[in-house]
Amino acid sequence: MSNHVIAGIDFSAPAPQVARRLIGVTVLVNGVGGRIVEVEAYDREDPASHAFVGKTQRNFAMFGPPGHAYVYLSHGIHWCLNFVCCEEGHGAGVLIRGIEPLVGLDQMRARRGMEDERLLCSGPGRLCQALGVTREYNALSLAALPFRLEPRRGRVQVVAGPRIGISKAVDVPWRFGLAASPFVSRPFR
């Protein structure tokens, strides 16, 4: 049995499975956050994944224990948050791409410098700005503060499609979303 269960999710499972189960889960960072509505899975044997080239200084957290954060900087501007999964050493994760803002709306608006609720956390860079996630959160456990995960209540309808913003393995349908949510970064087809 695994002891990598947080908010009802076994993070030692394969990335696509963890990704699908994360839809509807609430994530808070220092008490600010909301419900996850969009994620993408990335695996070790996946040309689109940072882990594909093996363990490096940048991606080492992906090869650490599951249920921890992997935070990286994209295009020198945007921080992006991943949840590490599979067994320790495997190198897989789930990119958090969209959150429905629920707690700490004022702080999110201040950090983002805008009012529109739909644009606060719709996109991996946007949600990190809204939640205040930076490099300092890399490799931290999701089971302890500043993170807090809460299980989803009831059932959710999950839709899937190809991932966004990648140049390899563009047809792999490892992007998952909450059906009909207005808070996804781009609509599902």
- Assess 154 for contact with DNA (CB under 7 A): no
| Cα–Cα nearest to 22, from 148, 151, 118 | 151
CB of 153 to DNA, least distance (A): 27
CA atoms in the 13 A half-sphere facing the CB of 2: 16
Work out which of 33, 34, 101, 125 binds DNA, going by CB under 7 A. Answer: 125
Work out which of 2, 74, 134, 157 binds DNA, going by CB under 7 A. Answer: 74
| Cα–Cα nearest to 173, from 57, 40, 70, 18 | 40
- Assess 40 for contact with DNA (CB under 7 A): yes
- Give 169: exposed, middle or buried? Use CB within 10 Å, 0-12, 13-18, 19+: middle
- Assess 167 for contact with DNA (CB under 7 A): yes
List interacting residues with DNA (CB under 7 A): 40, 42, 48-51, 53, 56-59, 62, 70, 72-78, 80, 82, 93, 95, 112, 119, 123-126, 163-167, 185
